[in-house]
Structure 1
Amino acid sequence: MTERKCILTGDRADPDHLIRLAIGPEDQLLPDLRAKAPGRGAWIGVSRAELEVALAKGKLRGAIARAFKTGELAIPDDLAEQIETGLRRALLDRLGLESRASMLLTGSEKIDVACRKGQVRLLLHAMDAAPDGNRKLDQALRVGQEAEGTDLAGIVLPVDRNALSMAMGRDNVVHIAVTDSRAASRLRAAIGRLESYLGCAAEAPVHGEPRSTDAPGVQANV
């Protein structure tokens, strides 16, 4: 797909970094996170905080009216929450799929060994994981990637251990190691979308590359 344009900022980017809005069956505006709903859509690439400001000031309604050529659409008051819930669910669903495909490891001891052997492509921590446990596994990751002395580290997810455990059908999932590069890429995409929307995006560095704090670009309308 070509780039799309954010109806709120005018910035352009890959549609994978944007949120598509579509018209529901009762003429209500709904998030179309898979970008598969039929008919015309509009794209936004702003954080939740920015979207809530646009909703409160009527900026989103004006942009939607221009995008869809109508002012009759109903915009739900909880649109921002619907988007966050959907992005969070998409991440948890992806973790569940990768887990069932045996692409993930859990348990600190197993992850530590895999990290030190250089087998881990992506390291994830629950948001309520103990900092000391994170530090130990981050250090094991740097050892395995021959990246000691760098800031290479796992991603602290905006999801707690209870949600991770339910998504993966396992008990007490606190840390996750991804051992397949393609699975790691898919999970980075899902994590990036949620973190960008929450305004806390941070791309996990690979093989000792420096950590980036830039959020994915905002984008467009179709």
Structure 2
Amino acid sequence: MTRSPASSQIAVEGQRRARERRCIVSHESLPDAMLIRFALAPDGSVVPDVSAKLPGRGAWVRAERASVETAAKKQLFARAFKCDARAPAELAERTESLLARRCLDQLGLMRRAGAVAIGATQVESAIRAKPALMLIEASDGAAEGREKLMSLHIGFWGGPPPAVGCFGSAELGVALGRERVIHACLLQERLATAWAADIGRLAGFRAIVPSSWPDSWRSVQWGLGDADGGSRKVRRRAEQRDV
């Protein structure tokens, strides 16, 4: 079977983040999927390199706000780069913004690969067919609609799926080629696993599921020191789908 260009690009991204790097804050050796790479701009300022593609020397920091803020405050980037590297005060906020943009861009690639069900009708049909790899709900969507889909999944498959609710309907709409998107569901294991790794990194900077939502939406403890937990949950769901 020939892969689409979009799915091939996501697969390459997932394979690239397979090595371990040392965090300049904790000095732990961690998988790439739990870290953010930072690079130096031509003017000597530190910039987030969330795709790990910028040229030159890189410094790696655990994917969490506190670690990025510590690295900037204690001038650890200057030590890592062996020069007068300047970390802007808003570095953590900039990192969060770029991670969120990366997640949305990847979602758009998955749509073009035919790997996303969009809208309540498509998502409901997908859930009835197989356990959801990842249920995506707009943060500003009505509770009644998302709870209906969650209840359907629990009723069919005995438990909740991995879930994401940290993007607004307008953001999801731009990523998925619609005016607004309230409900979506990922359909391909390989792409969903790669996306879960990026969501895991974003979880170090923002809540992936709003605190006001019921506990059933937190089957994955995003951001509790386990950035690849979502990827493992996706793989377990895929195994259940294949039974």
Q: Which TM-score band applies after superposition, normalised by the shorter structure?
A: 0.7 to 0.9
> Which of the residues 139, 147, 153 maps onto 1:135?
147
Post-superposition Cα deviations, 1:131-187, rounded to whole Å, max 9, x if no partner, equal 22221111222234x21xx4x145132111010001111132011011211221122
Q: 1:217 to 1:156 in 2, by over 3 A?
A: closer
Looking at secondary structure, tell me which structure has more helix per residue: 2
What are the within-5 Å matches in structure 2 for residues 151-170 of structure 1? Answer: 152-170=160-178
What's the counterpart of residue 182 of structure 1?
190
What's the counterpart of residue 6 of structure 2?
none
What's the counterpart of residue 38 of structure 2?
21
Aligned length in residues: 203
8 Å contact kept, 1:122–1:178: yes
TM-score (norm 2): 0.74
What's the counterpart of residue 73 of structure 1?
85
Distance 1:129 1:192 in 2: 22
Q: 1:199 to 1:4 in 2, by over 3 A?
A: farther
Q: 1:187 to 1:217 in 2, by over 3 A?
A: closer
8 Å contact kept, 2:162–2:219: no
How far residue 200 of structure 1 moved from its aligned partner, in angstroms, is 5.2
Distance 2:209 2:121 in 1: 28
What's the counterpart of residue 96 of structure 1?
108
Pairing 1:110–2:122 present: yes
- Unaligned regions of 5+ residues in structure 1, if any? 203-209
RMSD value, Cα: 2.5
How far residue 215 of structure 1 moved from its aligned partner, in angstroms, is 3.3
What's the counterpart of residue 11 of structure 1?
28
Distance 1:36 1:50 in 2: 21
TM-score (norm 1): 0.81
Pairing 1:45–2:62 present: yes
How far residue 129 of structure 1 moved from its aligned partner, in angstroms, is 1.9
Post-superposition Cα deviations, 1:181-212, rounded to whole Å, max 9, x if no partner, equal 1221122122111112336589xxxxxxx934
What's the counterpart of residue 205 of structure 1?
none
8 Å contact kept, 2:45–2:85: yes
Aligned-pair identity in percent equals 33
Distance 1:23 1:137 in 2: 45
Distance 1:29 1:68 in 2: 10
Distance 1:133 1:154 in 2: 17
Matched residue type, 2:110: E
Question: Which gives a bigger RCO, structure 1 or 2 (Cα 8 Å, sep 6+)?
Answer: 1
8 Å contact kept, 1:19–1:31: yes
8 Å contact kept, 2:23–2:62: yes
How far residue 46 of structure 1 moved from its aligned partner, in angstroms, is 4.5
111-120 or 13-22, larger mean C-alpha shift: 111-120
Distance 1:11 1:50 in 2: 12
Matched residue type, 2:188: D
Q: 1:217 to 1:96 in 2, by over 3 A?
A: closer
- Unaligned regions of 5+ residues in structure 2, if any? 1-17, 211-217, 229-243
